[in-house]
Structure 1
Amino acid sequence: MSNTDRQHDLVVWGATGVAGRLVAEYLTAQYTPDQLSLALGGRSESRLHKLETALRERRSAWDDIPIVIGDATEPESLRAIAEDTRVVCTTVGPYTKYGTPLVEACIAAETDYCDLTGEVNWVREMIDRYHDDAVEAGTRIVHSCGFDSIPTDLGTKLVQSFAIDEFGTPCDMAQIYLEDSRGSVSGGTMASAIEVFRAASTDPLARQTLRNPYSLAPKGERDGVDPGAQSVPKKDPLRSVWTAPSPMAMVNERVVRRSNALLRYPWGREFECTEVLPMGDGLVGLARANAVWAGITVATAGMAFGPTREGLRRFVFPDPGEGPTRKQIENGYFTVRVLGRGTATDGPFVVASQISADWDPGYGATARMLSEAAMCLVRDQTDSPLEGGILTPASGIGDPLADRLRQAGLDVEVDVWDRPPA
Structure 2
Amino acid sequence: FAAAPEVNPYNTFMKAKGWAVMLVLVGLGLGATVLRDQVPLGGARSPAPTSTSASGPAAEAGARLQNEQNTIEIVQKYEPGLVFISTEERVASQDPFGWMTDQGQGEVQRGLGSGFFVNSAGDILTNYHVVAGADGGAADRIQIRLLGGTETLDAQVIGLAPQYDLALLRAPDLKPADIRPIPLGDSDRLAVGQKAVAMGAPFGLEFSVSEGIVSATSRQIPIGFSAGGEGITQRAIQTDAAINPGNSGGPLLGSDGRVIGINTQIYSPSGQAGAAQSAGVGFAIPINTARNLLPRLQAAGGQMVYAPRVGIEPGILVRGRGGVLALGLGMLDPQGKRAAGLPDTGLLIGGVAPGGAAARAGLRGGGPPQDLPGGGQIQLGGDVIVQAAGQPVDALEDLQAVLLDKKVGDRVTLKVVRGGQTRDVTLTLDESAFQ
Same fold (TM over 0.5): no
TM-score normalised per structure 2: 0.25
Structure showing greater radius of gyration is 2
In terms of fraction of residues, the more strand-rich structure is 2
In terms of fraction of residues, the more helix-rich structure is 1
TM-score normalised per structure 1: 0.25
Question: More relative contact order in 1 or in 2 (CA 8 Å, sep 6+)?
Answer: 1
